[in-house]
Structure 1
């Protein structure tokens, strides 16, 4: 079982590499790039996923694409919370399991 309080940082990088993205190696948050897409990826532990507001601001202009990666058991709740918050950018949530399996949950249709 994955430690729910620790963000799945390594697993997040592995998911994006598996999807064909190049991944920056610095920091907990990272940028994944593929073709024209540039995604700011934020791994969140189970505790962080219940209150993602501190992770929504990046100190500058909001990125066009964001992805929040959390443990599978927290992913649906995080998606619902983000739907309620209506952040001003396109986003998705990826739920990961300890064995490398993952599921992608899109943001609201037509968001932002």
Structure 2
């Protein structure tokens, strides 16, 4: 039997819920809220250009895409705080890059 791959948005929603955030969907994006903080969570199966606006953003990608995504985000010179969450095939995650200490 093959490995079942869970969608990034489903995994991200579960992770933020486990961290105590209230999670909701806005189209393709997830909004995670806790206390005063609202984080816009953007699943990115492949490194892509990031949205140009926001305050706090977390980009969720597969573990192997983290470095390329970080390079793309740095080249964009974004005007908001962001982090990259890499999720491996087992569902474990790690924060790979961040511009803010969450």
Report the TM range for the smaller structure's normalisation. 0.7 to 0.9
Displacement of 1:20 in angstroms is 1.4
* 1:81 and 2:72 aligned: yes
Where does 1:1-112 land on structure 2 (aligned, <5 Å)?
8-46=8-46, 49=47, 52-53=48-49, 55-57=50-52, 62-108=53-99
Matched residues, number? 99
Following TM superposition, the consecutive aligned residue runs of length 4 or more in structure 1 with deviations greater than 6 angstroms are: none
What secondary structure does 1:100 align onto?
Answer: coil
The Cα offsets for residues 1-44 of structure 1, whole Å up to 9 and x where unpaired, read as: 676xx961111111111221110045321110011110111001
Instruction: For structure 2, list consecutive stretches of 5 or more residues without a partner in the other structure.
Output: none
The alignment yields a C-alpha RMSD, in angstroms, of 2.4
TM-score (ref. length: structure 2): 0.81
Displacement of 1:109 in angstroms is 6.6
What secondary structure does 2:89 align onto?
Answer: coil
TM-score (ref. length: structure 1): 0.75
